[in-house]
A and B are shown apart, each in its own frame.
Chain A
Amino acid sequence: DTAVSQTPKYLVTQMGNDKSIKCEQNLGHDTMYWYKQDSKKFLKIMFSYNNKELIINETVPNRFSPKSPDKAHLNLHINSLELGDSAVYFCASSQIRTGKAFFGQGTRLTVV
C-alpha cells in the first residue's frame, strides 16, 4: 500500500507542450512538497503546501503551477515545457515540523 504515489513514473514530451504530474498521499499528512532533482543530482525544493495552502514557493518559473485540490493531493502542471525542465520530480509529504518527509518514487521528465 503505497504511502506517496505519483504518476506517471516516466514522461517524454516535446518542447512547448503542457504536462501534469499527479501526487497522492494516504498518510494523513497536512504538508506536501514538490522537489526537483536536476542532472547534477541535487534535490531542491520547489513548493510546499499545508492544508491546500501554498507555503513555500522557491524561485521557480511561473510556467510551473502546483495545485492542491485537497490535502491528500498535490499536482504539478508545467506549461510550455523547455529542454531545461528535464529532471526527476519528487512529491513528498510530512506531518510534524521535524521534516521527516516521505517521498514518492519520482517522475522522470524528458523534454525533447
Chain B
Amino acid sequence: DQQVKQNSPSLSVQEGRISILNCDYTNSMFDYFLWYKKYPAEGPTFLISISSIKDKNEDGRFTVFLNKSAKHLSLHIVPSQPGDSAVYFCAAQRLRLIQGAQKLVFGQGTRLTINP
C-alpha cells in the first residue's frame, strides 16, 4: 500500500528553465510534507518542507506547493542548475505527541537531470 507516490521516475530539464516535480499521497492524516534530495552513494538531504496548514513555502530557488483537496504537492526549482541533478524524494508524516513516533513515508523518487 503505497501512500506516497511519485509517478514520474525521471525528468529532464534545460538549464535555466523551471523544474516541476510532482507527488501524490493517499493518507489524509498526513500533516507535514518534505522534499529530500539525494546524490549517488550519499544519504538523502533535507531540501524544503511544508505544513498541511499552508499551501506554499518558498526557500530561494525552491518552492513547494500543497493542494490538500487534491492530495498533491509539487516542488518547483527555478532557475534549474546543473548541480540540481539528483534524485528527489517526496516524504510525508503524521505529527505525533510521542517523540520518535513520527516516521517519514517516502515516494519512490524522481531522477532530475539538468541539461546544460
Residues of chain A whose beta carbon lies under 8 Å from any beta carbon of chain B = 4, 9, 30-31, 33, 35, 40-45, 48-51, 53, 55-56, 90, 92, 94, 97-106
Contacts and interface: CB of A to CB of B under 8 A. Distances in A.
Contacts of A55: 98-101
B23 to A, nearest CB: 14
Given A97-B95, A103-B44, A103-B45, A45 B108 contact: no
Contacts of A56: 100-101, 103
Contact of A97 (B96, B105, B109): B96
Nearest to B39: A105
Contact of A99 (B34, B43, B109): B34
Interface of B: 2, 32, 34, 36, 41-46, 49, 51, 87, 89, 91, 93, 95-106, 108-109
Residue with the greatest number of chain A CB neighbours at <10 A, chosen from B34, B45, B102: B102
A40 B108 contact: yes
Nearest to A102: B46
A4 B43 CA distance: 10
Contacts, number: 81
Contacts of B103: 33, 45, 48, 56, 99
The 7 A-B pairs of least Cβ separation, nearest first, read A50-B100, A103-B43, A55-B100, A43-B106, A99-B93, A31-B100, A45-B103
B101 A105 contact: no
B64 to A, nearest CB: 13
Nearest to B106: A43
A98 B87 CA distance: 22
Contacts of B43: 4, 90, 92, 103-106
A22 B49 CA distance: 29
A76 to B, nearest CB: 15
